[in-house]
A and B are shown apart, each in its own frame.
Chain A
């Protein structure tokens, strides 16, 4: 296997979740950002003896890497992905793949034409509870799926202002709920109709306690129906996800808050909520994800559980949800778009 050299774009929260995963895989990592944060991140890791180097330009980063990991704000995903693809690099791209269906499709088409891998980082597929759900459903344990519910809530992201601007993040529907939209597709198949409503402060102005909640009902081609609920909540809203999936032969449910495996019940001071979820009882799902992506680069037989088409489809469904929440209408998804990579 060729040496694993990764170009990490971005040095924010999700870059910090991916970087230890790459290092655990033995990668050398170049980091590039436009605001000097790459130098800080690289220095922090280099100081601990890791092969992490900040580079001054995107061209330098592309020169030095085999694959690019895009962990930047959503509006920059498309342009950076196209640049990496043009340089013949594989691309790992944080979700959502793009802000619009057109841009997501453009990136996917460019990757296919260039013969490089494009991996939308829908990491929830690597969270063990969700992977277990999918395996049970795929095994037929629940019979035919009928009705699914997914919830996902966290404190409103305050660490980067672009999250608060729907024009940059896509808001709670595209940034947060795209996770469960992807899982709903993965578990119950293609989505043919979407209805969604959003309430609260869609645009965050910086004052604390700006809550935004959205709700979406997805109708799958199979006839199954899914409720997805997303919340960017109050500052003390713990990160929490739940699912409840019912089929003709049974029911599976999970609450991340109910089964932590481990928890601190007192520590003298109130701890801040985590922004990026962890699962302390298992390997980091970020590592599992990156290992699976990297393994596919050298063995065409190893196909990751999430593909470029899934990233495009998740954006398509989330964008339909946004359209529905703006127009008040249910949005039918065109039949020719229903093919799935999963």
Chain B
């Protein structure tokens, strides 16, 4: 049996991971969520969440590590990834860390260094790499069907995530707002697609959406120029209406010299309308990206299949995000340090 511990249920994905791990053959799962101070009233965390999912629970991280996990999933608040990752490294346990890797480059570098020194694997949760739609884009680019890629326009819009977890709009714990939350998914795909070096970033943000509710940025447009000549723009805004029946999505348009491609990572759905609930419905039929990602993390990638991004690549995308904040602040393009 492969023993996997989920450390912290702060991130909204923790419950999904617990469910998937519980159902995976050959996997034994344990949850632990001792630091629930960031939770708003009504957020189900800790032993209660574990019990509702029928997952064994440890009251402390000490207990969770004493259980002897083969791997851990770190689902704490963005700014609290580092201590758990460093602890896993010290215990010699492989880590899958939620994105973004950290809220500062210094934290990210320390986490990568700790895992490298300990010889443990640091993987970062970017499930969209496992999207068949993205795989089709990657095949087309790798085969040369697109020719040289000129521009990539991406949008990763979601609703304001604070209803499920309040800390997502806490400047300290989340490291910012939409820019921190939603830039990295598309930046990671682009990192994987080209292996190119980002040279410069320009970003503009505002908090005109939910202005009275949060002081972090809720809208952002990020433009990144890469050393292969490609220009990538990312709309990272939490601009999907909160009352909409879906959470949002991720789309990309790739303009090459020989072909233009469009992908939608989450629109493998039947759309309709429920008279009973008086709202639109979406019935997804696509593959479960989280499940594919967890499987690849625990058992290795499928032949020719995607791998979970490592700490180094997550650090590259984090550098884009931190430079974006500088650009949004100064109103000028900012070079990306390496």
Q: Which residue numbers of A lie inside 8 Å of B, CB to CB?
A: 144-147, 149, 151, 153, 193, 195, 197, 199-200, 209, 211-215, 217, 219, 222-227, 229, 231, 233-234, 237, 244, 246-248, 250-251, 328-330, 332
CA distance A193 to B220 in the complex (A): 15
Determine the residue in chain B with the shortest Cβ distance to A225. Answer: B204
Partner of A209, one of B204, B210, B211, B258: B258
**What are the residues of chain B within 8 A of A222 when measuring CB–CB?**
208
* A246-B178 Cα distance, complex, nearest whole Å: 14
Asked whether, in the complex, the Cβ of B218 is within 8 Å of the Cβ of A233, the reply is no
CB proximity of B15 to chain A, nearest CB, Å: 27
How many whole Å from B180's CB to the nearest CB in chain A?
A: 16
Closest to B210 in A: A248
A244 contacts which chain B residues (CB < 8 A)? 155
10 interchain residue pairs of minimum CB distance: A246-B239, A146-B208, A199-B150, A147-B219, A213-B151, A146-B219, A200-B150, A223-B206, A213-B255, A146-B209
B221 at the interface (CB under 8 A from A): yes
Query: Could you tell me if A144 and B208 are in contact, using CB atoms closer than 8 angstroms?
Result: yes
Q: Which residue of A lies closest to B330 (CB)?
A: A330
B residues near A227, Cβ cutoff 8 Å? 153, 221, 233, 235
- Distance in angstroms between the alpha carbons of A146 and B230 in the assembled complex: 27
CB–CB B240/A231 < 8 A: no
Which residues of the partner chain A approach B218 to less than 8 Å between Cβ atoms? 146
Question: Which residues of chain A have C-beta atoms less than 8 A from B333's C-beta?
Answer: 195, 328-330
Interface residue? B196 (CB, 8 A): no
Distance in angstroms between the alpha carbons of A248 and B68 in the assembled complex: 48
Query: Once the chains bind, are A225 and B206 in contact (CB under 8 Å)?
Result: yes
Q: Is A234 a contact partner of B259 (Cβ separation < 8 A)?
A: yes
List 6 additional A-B contacts (Cβ < 8 Å) besides A147-B209, A199-B151.
Answer: A144-B211, A197-B223, A212-B150, A237-B260, A246-B239, A250-B241
Given A151-B153, A195-B333, A246-B237, are A215 and B231 also a contact pair (CB < 8 Å)?
yes
Does B227 reach chain A (CB closer than 8 Å)?
A: no
| B209 with A211: CB separation less than 8 A | no
Residues A200 and B257 in contact, CB atoms below 8 Å apart: yes
Does A248 lie within 8 Å of B208, measured CB to CB?
A: yes
* Complex CA–CA separation, A193 to B202 (angstroms): 12
In the bound complex, residues from chain B placing their C-beta under 8 Å from that of A214 are 151
A200 to B239 CA separation, bound complex (whole angstroms): 31
B225 at interface by CB-CB < 8 Å: yes
What's the Cα separation between A209 and B150 when bound, in Å?
Answer: 13
Which chain A residues border B210 with CB–CB below 8 Å?
248
